[in-house]
Structure 1
Amino acid sequence: MKKISRKTHGIIDYLWAAIMISAPFFLGFTTIIPAAACFFIAALSVFLLSLFTNYELGVWKRLPMAFHLDMDIVLGFILVISPWLFGFYNQIFLPHIVMGAFSIVAGLTSNANSMIKDG
């Protein structure tokens, strides 16, 4: 049984996006362009995905929750490997691993069943 409800996951999504936007500033890696760009792109992706997800906090409800959770897992994996993929691992890597792992765990432990009916 999944532990995180869809509504709680939605709250986490919007908070996660806000943290991802602000983290490069308060952790001091805005000058490491690839590292900061990964956070900004991830934040925008999750924000847009959340707006279009068919769950309690979605606005346009076009994408299934199961797809959203799959994308959380994919995004988390990309964040975890991004320091090595984009070559900034020798400058910063821990925030990417932590936030990526969080995204993976949230994707794996959230309820995908949708109460909201299409149509």
Structure 2
Amino acid sequence: HMQGQEESGDEGDDSEEDTFDGSKLNELIYSHIEQWKNEMETDNKLLKCYLDAKLTTKLTRKKMAQIKRDTTQLKQREMESAIMSLDTTRMALQEAKFWNAQKRRISRKTNLTSDKTGQLHDDE
């Protein structure tokens, strides 16, 4: 008895499919279009995110390179100033040496007049 009912139900479905329902088809098409639109939007968003990430990476790389260049320049400047201060130190030392020599010469002259002449010759 139930089997008979199922068959009659199937026949009913067939008769529904035979009658063309335009609104149902439109609904189906529209739902597909909506789905595609959503998928495209998602794809576009993903693409935008990807491009943003790529740009950010590029900018980050640029920034890193800039920082590297800056630090290199800074190191160079620091080295240059260190060299300059070394030169200044060297010049100061040379000057000190010169004045020290002058002082020795003067003291030697005064020593020559004193009794320490022999001692002076021993030093030399």
TM-score, with length taken from structure 2: 0.23
Q: Higher helix fraction: Structure 1 or Structure 2?
A: 2
TM-score by length of 1: 0.24
Which of 1 and 2 has higher RCO (CA within 8 Å, sep 6+)?
1
